[in-house]
Copies of this chain bind each other. A is one copy, B any other.
Amino acid sequence: MKSGPDIALVASLVGDPARANMLTALMNGRALTASELAQEAGITPQTASSHLAKLETGGLVEPEKQGRHRYYRLTDDDVASVLEGLAGLAARTGHMRVRTGPKDPALRRARICYDHLAGDLGVQMLDSLRIRNLIRQKKQDIELTAEGERFLAKHLQISRGMLTHPRRPVCKACLDWSERRHHLAGTLGAAMMQRFAELKWAARDTTPGSRVVNFTRTGEKQFAALFGSDAG
């Protein structure tokens, strides 16, 4: 009767609390074992196994066998993007998973979204790039300008060649759930986040499962110098 993609099937996968917790845990881009995901969701391994099998056939996660462990990761950042979108819808109705904890402000300020920077600083960065014509954005589509290439090479030692990937766009807009605006995804978003880490500007929170990104004092300065509202 109806045709078109079966969104109910995918949505119901995310719709279960246990699976949703697993997926959210995977949003930091790292692969986790089945046991870790079980613990994250607060269920027994056998139940988790069932859930993970469903997520796998649904194409949301991908397994990687390693010894007697089975590591799972999100299939790609498209999945992450949809999850962030859902988070955005949930956020504005005020429905949070649990009461806002002490880490919440930090999470809103800077966090990992799959493999790129999200939160206040992530949005701010994309804004800055756009305003200074380093990228050109048409709704969801973003492309790097010649100026942008020079900027990246000069300040972050990122060359255009590093960013090419057979199945992933260089730039992509990802909707930020805490800011309700876009931040930068794609290989460029990933490369920049990686560079921030390498330069010791920022580091992921050490507590396992956390998505918080902590900026160092100097990192924050450097970041502000490049992408601050009064930069350029």
Contact = CB atoms under 8 A, between A and B. Distances in A.
A8 B17 contact: yes
A203 interface: no
Given A79-B89, A107-B3, A97 B16 contact: no
A14 B99 CA distance: 22
Contacts of A97: 2-9
Chain A contact residues: helix, strand, loop or mixed: helix
B7 A86 contact: yes
A45 interface: no
A23 B10 CA distance: 14
Contacts of A86: 5, 7, 10-11, 82
Given A11-B20, A12-B12, A14-B15, A4 B107 contact: yes
Contacts of A104: 1, 3
Interface in A87-131: 87-93, 95-101, 103-104, 107
Contact of A91 (B5, B85, B92): B5
A60 interface: yes
B8 A20 contact: yes
Given A8-B14, A81-B85, 4 more contacts: A5-B177, A7-B23, A12-B16, A14-B15
8 contacts: A1-B42, A1-B103, A3-B100, A9-B97, A13-B15, A14-B15, A58-B95, A82-B86
